[in-house]
Structure 1
Amino acid sequence: MRILLPPSEGKSRPRRGRPWTAHELSFPELDEFRHAVHRELAAVSARADALELLGVGASLADEVAANTSLAQAPAARAAQVYTGVLYEALGATELGGTALRRLRESCIVISAAFGAVRLSDRIPAYRLSMGTALPELGRLSAAWRDVLTPVLDAECAGHLLVDCRSADYRAAWPAPKGRTVEVQVLTRAGGRTKVVTHMAKKARGELTRHLCERPAPLPKTPVALLAAASERWEAELDAPRSGTPGQLRLFV
């Protein structure tokens, strides 16, 4: 099983530690394009219109300025750098033993700055979203797609894919539909079913932790995934088909 995660917009900036280096991260085949993205990001972040180009407000000016020196910035494990609702619920830094090993092996974070990383990889904090269009590279979800596709196709071959990503990050690598189950989070109130938005991230983080912590093996089929999720939530499954990803619905 492979669990596909988005990064978080919010990040904890490491105060110390050596910078990230080429060939140190998972998927070193991506290093050349990682450097290309960082070079353009540094140039854009130094411009007077950087905030507008990166689609952020004035309160994030310091984070944008830090994009100009990612090569020298202290790095820490992605599990420590990524914060926010999903990663707080996941609580990766609290895990050990089998749960931590499973987390490191199964989780892949799709990143606008690094393409794909594992939670044990050391990265700096950065400010960049996959929906951003850089002047030379264009929209990053499209720019990354050709680079990520052969790498992740090989990494994920034969695995059940549990997709917790948002639309822009799914666009950067469209996972094989026949083996992918997307996670939806819903609530029932007053006889009506509603899609949960912000707090869906919490449930996806909790699901990831639950799958790694439970004593049974990681699910290898959509039916086994449904059974695992049903240990904690009311859950429903539409199984994937050749042209359509599956849907795991969690009711919170």
Structure 2
Amino acid sequence: MFIFIPPSESKAVPGDAGPAELGSLALPELAATRRALREALVGLCRGPAEDALGVLGLSSGLAGELAYNQGLRKAPAAAAADVYTGVLYDAFGLPSLRQRGVTVDHVLIFSGLWGVVRPNDRIPHYRCSAGVKLPGLGSVSTVWREALRAPLAAHVGEELVVDLRSGAYAGFWQPGANAVTLRVLHEYRAGGRTVRKIISHHNKATKGRLARALLESGQVPGKPAEFVDVVRDLGFTVEPGPEPTRPHSPTTMDVVVSEL
């Protein structure tokens, strides 16, 4: 079973350590693509700041992010589990799982700069989201759709994919029928009726909690129906989601929460 998660825009800055080795990251055959994207990003951020901020979709208040991107070749790196922060990662608690010896190698984090990384892969602080279009290379999403197609299909094989990615990163690689995609619905009462909505905080936190519970359980479902049974046994409310719009699509499921 593989668990796919998105990155986070918020990231910790690694301390005094060596730089990332691109060939040591998940799917080392992607090293050349990673290097090309990194070089394009470094070049962009060493040019006019206004242009770089515009391409990266950053406000002037985040101009400090450009300095991190400028130094990516030699920037100190740390385990991705320690670099990515935010609501989903706080709920997932990857660092504590690693410290306890829980295997996390089947968690794949999708990234605009690195494609996919494992929690133990060493990366620096950076800023490059899925929607960025880099000079000379174009959309990073398009680059990764092409580069990931064959290597990731071979890596995943026939194993179940639990896809917790956000929409922008889901476009990097599409799993087939042996996959489950989840959305989280917050259920509450308003105006005398029951309302269900997707609320960002609940969505991220619940996905992090669910992923953590799956790894802690030690269970490895092989099919979508088995996954649903496991998740219900772990105490989550799961219902069928929208019908797939194309053949051989993943099974869609809704996780319903009333509070965190």
- TM-score range (shorter-chain normalised) is over 0.9
Aligned partner of residue 39 in structure 2, secondary structure: helix
CA apart distance, 1:174: 1.8
Aligned partner of residue 198 in structure 1, secondary structure: helix
Gaps of 5+ in 2: none
- Is the Cα–Cα contact under 8 Å of residues 79 and 92 in structure 1 kept in the other structure? yes
Cα deviations by residue, 1:191-244 (Å, 9 ceiling, x for unpaired) = 2222232320111111110000014x2111111211222122111135878433
- Is the Cα–Cα contact under 8 Å of residues 92 and 100 in structure 1 kept in the other structure? no
Output the CA distance in 1 between the equivalents of 2:113 and 2:22: 13
- Is the Cα–Cα contact under 8 Å of residues 179 and 223 in structure 2 kept in the other structure? no
Output the CA distance in 2 between the equivalents of 1:229 and 1:99: 22
CA apart distance, 1:171: 1.0
Counterpart for residue 160 of structure 1: 160
In the TM superposition, what are the counterparts of 1:223-242 in structure 2 within 5 Å?
223-230=225-232, 231-238=234-241, 242=247
In the TM superposition, what are the counterparts of 1:55-204 in structure 2 within 5 Å?
55-96=57-98, 100-101=102-103, 103-104=104-105, 106-176=106-176, 178-190=177-189, 191-204=194-207
Please say which of residues 8-17 and 231-240 is displaced more in the overlay: 231-240
Output the CA distance in 1 between the equivalents of 2:99 and 2:68: 35
Q: What count of residue pairs does the alignment treat as equivalent?
A: 248
Output the CA distance in 2 between the equivalents of 1:97 and 1:219: 24
Gaps of 5+ in 1: none
Output the CA distance in 2 between the equivalents of 1:80 and 1:184: 25
Output the CA distance in 1 between the equivalents of 2:42 and 2:99: 39
Give the root-mean-square deviation of aligned CA atoms: 1.7
Please say which of residues 132-141 and 80-89 is displaced more in the overlay: 132-141
Output the CA distance in 2 between the equivalents of 1:212 and 1:203: 14
In structure 2, relative to structure 1, the CA distance for the partners of 1:96 and 1:43 (3 Å cut) is closer
Identity of aligned residues (%): 36
Output the CA distance in 2 between the equivalents of 1:197 and 1:205: 12
Question: Which AA in structure 1 matches 2:139?
Answer: R
CA apart distance, 1:248: 2.0
CA apart distance, 1:135: 2.0
Output the CA distance in 2 between the equivalents of 1:137 and 1:199: 35
Q: Could you tell me the TM-score, scaled by structure 2's length?
A: 0.90
Question: Which AA in structure 2 matches 1:38?
Answer: R
In the TM superposition, structure 1's runs of 4+ consecutive aligned residues that sit over 6 Å from their partners are none
Output the CA distance in 1 between the equivalents of 2:175 and 2:100: 26
CA apart distance, 1:98: 7.7
Cα deviations by residue, 1:114-146 (Å, 9 ceiling, x for unpaired) = 111100100101000011111211111111111
Cα deviations by residue, 1:155-177 (Å, 9 ceiling, x for unpaired) = 1110111111111111111222x
Output the CA distance in 2 between the equivalents of 1:99 and 1:24: 21
Question: Which AA in structure 2 matches 1:129?
Answer: S
